[in-house]
Amino acid sequence: MAIVQVSRITNRKGLADNLPQLAGAEFGWVIDQRKLYIGNGTLAEGAPAIGNTEILTQYSDILNVATTYTYKGEHAGYTVQTGPSSSDPVVQTLQAKLDNFASVLDFGATGDGVTDDTDAINRALFQLFCVQTNTTIRRSLYFPGGTYRITNSINVPTFAKLWGDGPDSVIFEMDVSSDSSYGNYVLRTADSLQQTGANIGSNSATAPRDIVISGMSFTSKEPIDLVLIDRAQGVSISNCNFKGSLASAPTGAADDIAGLRFDSTLANTCKQIEVNNCKFSFLTYGLNTDENIQGVTVQNSQFNSLYQGILLGTGTPDNGGPEGVRVVQNLFDEVAKQGISIGAVAFNVSAYNIFLDVGNDYLGAGNASSPVIEINGDDNVSIGDMFERSDADNLTQPRVELNNKACYALINGNEIEFGTYHRLAGVSTDLSVQASATTIFTVNTANATAFNVNYQMKESSTNVVRFGTLRVVGQDTDDSAGTLAYVDDYSEDNPNNFVLSAVQSGSTISVQYTSTIANTFQYSLEHFSV
C-alpha cells in the first residue's frame, strides 16, 4: 500500500527473555543473542498476525527461518509433482533436507592431509550409527575429496555406509611414524557400539553387519595391514584402492602385510563379503587369511606389484579355514609368485580370471618360478582362467598345480586337470628339416616323470600323415639305477625318415625329432602328477 505517514522510528533493547510485544514498525534489539526484531503492527492496520518479525542478521538461524523446502526439478523442463496433486506438494524444512545425508566435515574432519582426523571420523560414525537403534538416525556418511590423516584405526560400526568421491580423491592415510606400537589397521569393522576385537558383541551390542564402503583409498606410511573384516556379515567394499607402504614391488614375504585380512569366531563367522572393482598394490599380499570365512566374493579387481595375490588357508586353517570363496573376473599382473594359493581347505573357486606376468619373479616369460595357481586341498576348482604363461613355461612350472588333490581345472581352452590327471591338448608347431636330434619341447620331472605324447605329423606338399603315441618313462632323479625309456607307437600312410625320441639331462626330459621333410606337428601331452 502507499505510505501515508512517516513516523519517528522508535527502538528498544534488552535481553531475549524480556522482549515485549513491539509496536508497529518499532525495533527491538536483543543484546544477548545479537538479534533484531520489528513489530508487526495491529490487525486493523493490515498485519496478517500480531507479533514480532525477526530481521535477518549474521547471527540469525537461517535454517530455522527458512522453514519449507519443496523439490521442483525445474531443470527437467517442468515442475515436478511431489505430492498427490500439484496443489498439495511435499514440504520439508531446509534443515531436514540438508540432514538427508551427513558429511564427515560436519563432525570436524578436514581432509587436509595434516590435521589428525581420526577422532572426528570415529565420532561421526558413532553419532550416526551407535547412539540409538532408531533406524531414522542412520545416514550415509559422505567423504569429500581429500587426504584424511589418521593415527589409529577407523572403527566402522554395524549398519555404517561410507561413500567417498572416488579412490583417487579420498585417501585414508595411516600416519603412525611417531608411534612404534603398530598392529592397528587403517580401517576395521566394529559392532553397534563401535567395539572391536575380542569386545565385539559385548554389552548387548550387535556384531558387525550390513556395512557398505565405497569410493576411497587406504594406505599407510608404515608396513601394516590396511583393512580388517572382523566377525562381520554382509559387508560390501567397492571401488576402493588398497596401496601398501612398500616403495617397490616386493620380492619376498618378510614384510608380511596384506591389503585385506579377516578375523572370525565360531559365534561370529565372516560371511557374505563382497569385494568389487578394487585395486591391491605394493603389499606382500592382496588378501591373506586362514580364518573360517564363508561366501566371500572377490571380483572385477586388480592385483599387481605384490609378492602373492590371494592366499586362502595356506598357513594353519582356523575352524576349517576359508570355504566358499569365489575369486572371479579379476586381473593379476606383476605378481612375483602365485596369483592364487589355496591351502588345505575346500569349496573355493577361481574362475575367469586373467593372469599376465605372474609367478615369474617380475622377470617375464621364460622365468617361471612358481605355479600361477596352486591348490593343496580337495574340492576346489579353477574354471576358465586364462594365462599369459607359455606352453614351454607351463612345462617348467604349471599354470595350475593341483598337487594330486581331488580338484579340477579348465585352463586356457586347451588344458584340463582332474585330480592327478593332466592333459595339455591342441598344441601345434611347425618343424623344419633336421638331420640331427632337435628338441620340440621339454618336461620337468618335478611335474611328470612319465607321460604320453599323442600326436599327428602332416607334411603339406606330399600329404604324408603319421599318427601315433610316444610313451616316455623318465629316470627318477632319486633312483641312480634307473634309466629313461620310451617307445613310439604309430601308423603312417607313407613311411619317411621322421624319428621321435626322448633324452634326459638331470630333471629335464627333452622330446626330440629328426626329419627329412618339413611338417606340422600337432600333439597333446597327458600325464599323472608326480
Residues of the chain with pLDDT under 50: 1-4, 6, 178-182
Domains of the chain from N-terminus onward: 11-60 (no CATH), 102-337 (2.160.20.10), 425-528 (2.60.40.1680)
CA distance 155 to 134: 20
CA distance 89 to 254: 64
Task: Specify whether the CB–CB gap between 412 and 387 falls below 8 A.
Answer: yes
C-alpha cell of 338?
A: 602365485
What pTM was estimated for this model as a whole? 0.77
Report pLDDT for 470: 96
Task: Specify whether the CB–CB gap between 477 and 449 falls below 8 A.
Answer: no
DSSP string, 265-304: -SSS-EEEEEEES-EEEEEEEEEEE-S-EEEEEEES-EEE
CA distance 483 to 528: 19
pLDDT in tens, 298-339: 999 999 999 999 999 999 999 999 999 999 999 999 999 999
Bridging pattern class, strands 302-312 and 354-355: unpaired
Report pLDDT for 178: 47
Contacts of 420 (CB under 8 A, 6+ apart): 402, 404, 528, 529
Report pLDDT for 1: 41
Residue type, 384: G
Report pLDDT for 65: 62
Report pLDDT for 79: 77
Report pLDDT for 6: 47
Task: Specify whether the CB–CB gap between 524 and 454 falls below 8 A.
Answer: yes
CA angle 387, 393, 394 (to 5 degrees): 60
